[in-house]
Every structure is written in structure tokens, then in C-alpha cells.
Amino acid sequence: MLQRDIVIIGAGAAGLFAGIWCGRTLGAQPRRVVCLDGAKKLGAKILVAGGGRCNVTHHIVDEQQYAGSSRNAIKKVLRRFDVDQTIAFFRERGVELKREETGKLFPTTDDGRTILDAILGSTRHAKAAIVHPWRVASVCRDGDGFIITRDTPAALAGEAGFVGIDTDDEVAAVSELRAARVILATGGKSLPRTGSDGLGHEIAKALGHTITSRVFPSLVPLTIDPTHWLTKLSGLTLNSTVEVRTQAGKKLRSFTNSTLITHFGLSGPSILDISRYFTDAYLDDATTQLVLNWLPNHTPQSLDALLIDASRGSTNKLTTKRWLTEAGLPERLAEVLCIQAALIPGSLVRELTRDQRRTLVDLTAQLRVPITGDRGYTYAEVTAGGVPLAEVDVATMQSRVCPNLYLCGEVLDVDGRIGGFNFQWAWASGYVAGISSGATAHNA
Ligand SMILES: Cc1cc2nc3c(=O)[nH]c(=O)nc-3n(C[C@H](O)[C@H](O)[C@H](O)COP(=O)(O)OP(=O)(O)OC[C@H]3O[C@@H](n4cnc5c(N)ncnc54)[C@H](O)[C@@H]3O)c2cc1C
């Protein structure tokens, strides 16, 4: 049976990076490292990321921006390949990154293809071959190594459509392959049409790993009932604070950022970031609430005090709607909030009853949004859950339960906030898996 030293399953961000560093560690020897991918077109996520601009990393990356397996373990991996190394890696390939106000780093070309081409160029230099579509159906243990079985017919192989790919015709022609070492880089379940559909979890389980009891879409828009009044404001975007709270009012997590109202519910950076924490808390307790403050500079108490202040004076002609817009709300929202507070159009601030004032403050600064669910993996940027980091030696990314198996990227139980953190995890964990598997193959 055809054999390769290192077979990487999945040629996404993590798998390609692992391939580069394996190849470099082995001194760019051909026919030793091969990346297999089930997709016809490579790098789908790199190309769609950041609205097509690819948010490669963040100016400041630390473990606090991640959830999942222990932050300490995440930190150990992140520090092995940091933001400066990411910048240097792309610079070496002629790609400059620019930092935006938010701290996110993008290629100066504003085009994700620049990033993908740079990575593919590096795999070629490192003599790591890429064969696709070569979808892996199963991986079985065979002595110290593995037998990898394909589920796409061999006849489909050899459609590499990118300049800069070194393929491996021998691997492309077979349906079974032996590997001395395997790097599992199959991603999670988000955006399944790109090929990341969770089969990697099954492969990991078949090799002795567990998967966290919870696996769910993260960085995902949240849904509300389509008849809810908020959906009438579809298209509205504004900076707000979103908070996960227990029914008793305990604040669990909050984010302040842009929030977008859509016909199905809520989206935008604040919602994507909170979605992970909301779902996790909701799975613990279905009474968990999502609370929205349209005026992040105010608390309900400070807003109430402001409203009382604005109502003083018997000849005061200030309308409630005007007061809301002066406080910073867009007119459309101000109008809808007045309607929801059952106020007649043009009602004056000084005429508000105590109950009306409190209702208005609640709608503005602590609106409980009845979330019905999320938009699922098709719209999720990442997957929460996966193989626990405790089952991996983070110094090498080698499995603790299956020798010669390495894991990297989103298949692991690590998910970051929006802002480039997920790619940085893919680069760092792919780097560690690549150099450590390469070093053991070199010494074998
Ligand atoms: C719409 C969108 C936008 C995003 N934007 C950003 C962003 O701007 N910044 C950021 O940091 N992160 C972003 N992310 C998240 C980021 O893309 C992922 O975290 C990252 O790509 C994970 O890398 P990975 O290599 O682990 O997995 P993936 O990129 O999912 O790659 C896994 C690969 O494995 C292959 N595969 C799976 N199963 C098999 C199998 N059985 N056989 C062979 N091949 C297989 C798949 O075809 C795929 O190519 C975004 C994600 C999405 C969906």
C-alpha cells in the first residue's frame, strides 16, 4: 500500500499551516507530506472570511478572547506562534497586513485570495503536496500508523485549480493510503458546504478521542419570532450592549458593539460574540435571557434619572420621541419604542406617568429579547466544542490517546471571538502540530 510519512486530513487554514511547517521541518523533501481535502475548491473559508477581505489575525491576541478547553492550555499554544510571527510569515510571502481601528488585521489588498495564494505558495516551497478532492471516509489504526480510506472516487482527483499547488499523483490515484503520522485538521461543523461537516469528530472518536458533550454553532446570528415588533426595524444597525443574564438578573457576559436588526432576528458583531455565551447558558437553563441596551453609555438608572430631569417644568414641550432621538437613538427606533410603551404620538415627557417612564426605560436600556434559537451551522462562523484540549499534549499537539495522531484548528474544543482570533488559533495550532510531527518524522 502507498505510504506517506505525514498525512494531513483537511487543507483549511490549520491543515495548510501544518503542512507548511511539516514540510519545512523535513527540509522540503518531496513525497513525504500530503494534505488531503474533500473540497473541490480549496480555501473556501479563507476566501469568505471577513466579508472576502480575510481578517487574518488581531493586533492583540490573548487566551481571554477564547472559550472552550482550558484557557491556560490555549495560551500555551498561542504563544508558540504569535501575531508578530503571523505578520512575518505573510511578509516573507510578500503580503503586508494592515491594522484597522478595531485592532483587526487584513491584507493591504483587502482580498482573501492574497492570503490563500501566499499559503499555497508556501506549501509548494515546503514540498507539502495537496490532493483534492480526496475526502476521507475513515481512519483506522495499523500498527504504529494509520490506514486512511477515501470516500470520493479516485476518478475525480487531480482537479487542483490553483497555481502554486504541488499535488501528488500517486496519492490522487489511490483509494487507500498508509500514513506513519496523521494530522487531523478537519475543522468543526460550521459552513458545512465548504466540507467542514463534522466528519472529523467521527474520525477522532474512532481513534479513541471523545467530543465535548456540547457542540453547537458559535458566532452565529440569533433568531426571534418573525412577528415580533423588532423585525419591523429590519436593516437598522446601531452600537448597543448585549448581555446574557440569568432569570434572577445575574449578568453572565456582555459585549458592546454594533448590533444589526434583521427580518429573522439579530446579527452584527455584538450578537455574534454573545451568541456562544447565550447558547451555552441557555442549554444550562432555558430561562436565560438576552438583554439589550440601545444606549450603552447609560444604565437603566441613569436613563431614568435623565428622563425625570427632562420632564421638569410645567411648560416643557419636549416630546418623548424627541427626547429619545436626542439621547442618541435613530428616529425609526425611537418611534417604535414609543409605540411599544403605548404612548400616543407626540406625548410630552413631562406628562409621562411613572409606569410609562419605567416601561420606556426598560425598552431602551434593558430590553429582554425573546430569542427563539440561532441560524445554525450554515450561518455560524465557528463551532463551539470538539476534541477536548486535555486529550492533546499542547506542547506538540500530539494526541494523548492515540500516538502519532496530531490535531489542530477548529476540530479541537477552542473557539474565539470575532476579530481574527479563530485564524490565529488555526495558525498557531497548525504550526505546533506541523513542526512537532515533522521533527518526529525527521528523527524516525
Ligand atoms: C463565513 C465565515 C467567516 C469567517 N471569518 C473569519 C475571519 O475573518 N477571521 C477569523 O479569524 N476567522 C474567521 N472565520 C473562522 C475561520 O474561518 C475558522 O475558524 C478557520 O477556518 C478554521 O480552520 P480549520 O483549518 O481548523 O478548519 P476549516 O477552515 O473548516 O478547514 C477544514 C478543512 O477540512 C476539510 N475536511 C473536512 N472533513 C474532511 C474529510 N473527511 N476529508 C477530507 N477533508 C475534510 C474541509 O473540506 C476543509 O477544507 C470565519 C468562518 C466563516 C464560516
User: Any idea what DSSP says for residue 16?
Assistant: H
Strand 265-267 with 222-224, pairing: antiparallel
191 lines ligand 1 (CB under 6 A): yes
Contact 268, 260 (CB under 8 A): yes
C-alpha 13 to ligand 1 mean position (Å):
6
Collapse the DSSP code of 114 into the 3-class scheme (helix H, G, I; strand E, B; otherwise coil) and give the result: helix
For 98-136, what is each residue's pLDDT tens digit? 999 999 999 999 999 999 999 999 999 999 999 999 999
16 lines ligand 1 (CB under 6 A): no
Give the pLDDT of residue 158. Answer: 47
Collapse the DSSP code of 128 into the 3-class scheme (helix H, G, I; strand E, B; otherwise coil) and give the result: strand
For 284-305, what is each residue's pLDDT tens digit? 999 999 999 999 999 999 999 9
For 236-253, what is each residue's pLDDT tens digit? 999 999 999 999 999 999
268 lines ligand 1 (CB under 6 A): no
Contacts of 236 (CB under 8 A, 6+ apart): 260, 261, 330, 332, 333
Contacts of 88 (CB under 8 A, 6+ apart): none
Does residue 358 or residue 193 have the better pLDDT? 358
Q: What is the mean pLDDT of residues 313-327?
A: 88
221-375 and 3-216+379-443 share a CATH fold: no
For 342-385, what is each residue's pLDDT tens digit? 998 789 999 999 999 999 999 999 999 999 999 999 999 999 99
Answer CATH for 221-375 from 3.40.50.2000, 2.40.30.10, 2.40.160.40, 2.60.40.10 = 2.40.30.10
415 lines ligand 1 (CB under 6 A): no
Q: Domain map of the chain by residue range?
A: 3-216+379-443, 221-375
For atom 3 of ligand 1, the residue with the nearest CA is: 49
- Best residue among 21, 381, 411 to mutate for probing ligand 1's pocket (most ligand atoms within 8 Å of CB) is 381
Percent of the chain past pLDDT 90, that is, above it, reads 89
Give the pLDDT of residue 157. Answer: 45
- Averaged confidence pLDDT in the chain: 94
438 lines ligand 1 (CB under 6 A): no
C-alpha 328 to ligand 1 mean position (Å):
39
Neighbours of 438 (CB within 10 A): 28
Q: How is residue 296 written as a grid cell? A: 450603552
The answer to whether residue 178 scores a pLDDT higher than 50 is yes
Closest atom, ligand 1, to C-alpha of 49: 5
Separation between Cα atoms, residue 319 and residue 335, nearest integer Å? 11
CATH class of 3-216+379-443: alpha beta
Collapse the DSSP code of 314 into the 3-class scheme (helix H, G, I; strand E, B; otherwise coil) and give the result: coil
